[in-house]
Structure 1
Amino acid sequence: MVTSEAEQPVSPWMKPALRLAGIYNLTWGLWVMLFPIASLKVCGYPAPPTYPELWQCIGMIVGVYGIGYWIAASDPFRHWPIVFVGLLGKIFGPIGFLIAYSQGNLPLSAGLVNIFNDLIWWGPFAVILWNALRFAQTRNATSETGLPFSEAIQNFRSQDGTSLAELSNRQPFLVLFLRHSGCTFCREALSEIQMQRPKIESEGVQIAFVHMEDEEHGKKLFERYDVADLPRISDPKQVLYRAFEIGLGRFSQLMNFNVFWKGFLSAIVKGHGFSKVRSNVFRMPGTFLIHNEKILARHIAKDPSDHPDYGNLACDIKN
């Protein structure tokens, strides 16, 4: 039995990291509130301000954040908004200091506090948020249990009611598992299929799609690229994706220069654009050549922009 991808435990370090952030913020906030003048000197400010109460107010705000981090530590994924707001503050704080420093309003020594209050927390908070998003998307889009390959291709049917197994028994099929429809690479793949369709079909191979949208929304996308007549299977819970062992992308796969550059070319230069995210942004694409309920060839993408030469993959039926 295929287990649920939603069963992703919180990494052991996340809760202690948030508790440490809570303790640090509370300690720093209390120190500033109780000893405003001394803390200003330690933090690199050359002279006490006219209104030290303003500095104490900042200490109070930081201390309140500490309470929030301690609460978030009980369930980092559930309380991700607290972590998100905290990270925003830790980003805008150093930005505000740099602006003030560039204008000559603060000395460089005053930036020391940003290192300990803000910069060192960027990494842990960002990783917690990334994993919280991954967990939420997977939990909302994945069934509790998966299906084995043989059962999945029998259960899932195209828009005309034909199962994927029945399609594969008729003739070889090149099956494209698409990313979410808001992704420019999903649209680029449909455009490439439109252009390569004559070559693929000349090899005696038919084409089918598996997508994560509901049928109504998916149909509009396929009509846009003039491939709506081809078999397509809606799989919002991504059971078929998992049966074909198409996993979730890692951070290094989804967020790298190659993806950003090719995404720019696809969305802007080629004009495929992008739109609202409606399904799992972490799910990777994949392409399979199947016949008689067996996989003859496959291409599992290295990153979202990685598309095979669909025509050449179809030719594997002769090998």
Structure 2
Amino acid sequence: MNPDSSPPSPSPGRPGRIPRRRIHRAIFVVAGIYNIAWGLYAAFDPQWLFRFAGMPLANHPPIFASLGMVVGLYGILYFEVARVPERGWLLAAVGLAGKILGPIGLFVLLWQGTWPPATIVLCLTNDFIWWIPFALYLRDSWPFFRRSLAES
């Protein structure tokens, strides 16, 4: 391997440690707790969003309950990122992708007039508030992910 093409040292001051490690760990613990709590709530009360937004109740509430299950499972993955932040880039990237794609889907529903504006609450708490902390984590953890790719 050419020395000039090797990935940069992950953290000049502390080799092997991600920058802002304590902050990233705390954020992903909070994200894990939040996602599991939201997922459980959605599973136990799958009609909450429809009532909140003044929409007709869903004909098939298990679909929304299943969404809650998926969101809750993301919480477990966020705990893994918090446990070893140096190895969580891919998990967090998938999480951020979902947090970007979800609002795009909601925007389409709003644009088409299928869902009312009150449903944006779904993206305020599940998506938008996590964009900056997840993006910062991805930037800080990128050298670790890049190095793992080079080693495999």
Place the TM-score, normalised by the shorter chain, in its bin. Answer: 0.7 to 0.9
More helix by share: 2
Q: Which deviations, in whole Å up to 9, do the C-alpha atoms of 1:152-199 show, x marking residues without a partner?
A: xxxxxxxxxxxxxxxxxxxxxxxxxxxxxxxxxxxxxxxxxxxxxxxx
Q: Is the 8 A contact 2:74 2:95 kept in 1?
A: yes
Q: Is the 8 A contact 1:22 1:70 kept in 2?
A: yes
Match of 1:13?
23
Q: Secondary structure at the match of 1:105?
A: coil
Contact 1:91 1:118 in 2 (8 A): yes
Q: 1:91 and 2:100 equivalent?
A: yes
Give yes or no for contact 2:87–2:144 (8 Å, CA) kept in 1.
no
Matched residue, 1:134: 143
After TM superposition, the score normalised by the length of structure 1 is 0.40
Q: Are 2:120 and 1:114 aligned? A: no
Structure 1: distance between partners of 2:54 and 2:40: 18
Give matches, 1:22-37, under 5 Å: 22-37=32-47
Which residue number corresponds to residue 78 of structure 1? 87
Larger radius of gyration: 1
Q: Which has the higher strand share?
A: 1
Which residue of structure 1 aligns with residue 66 of structure 2?
57
- Is the 1:31–1:39 Cα contact (8 Å) retained in structure 2? no
The residue type equivalent to 1:108 in the other structure is P
Please state how far the C-alpha of 1:35 moved relative to its aligned partner: 1.2
TM-score by length of structure 2 reads: 0.82
- Gaps of at least 5 residues in structure 2 are 1-8
Query: Larger relative contact order (C-alpha < 8 A, sep ≥ 6)?
Result: 2
Is 1:123 matched up with 2:144? no
- Separation in structure 1 between the aligned mates of residue 111 and residue 17 of structure 2, nearest angstrom: 44
**Conservation of the 8 A alpha-carbon contact between 1:45 and 1:110:** no
Percent of pairs identical after alignment? 34
Aligned twin of 2:76: 67
Q: CA RMSD in A?
A: 2.1
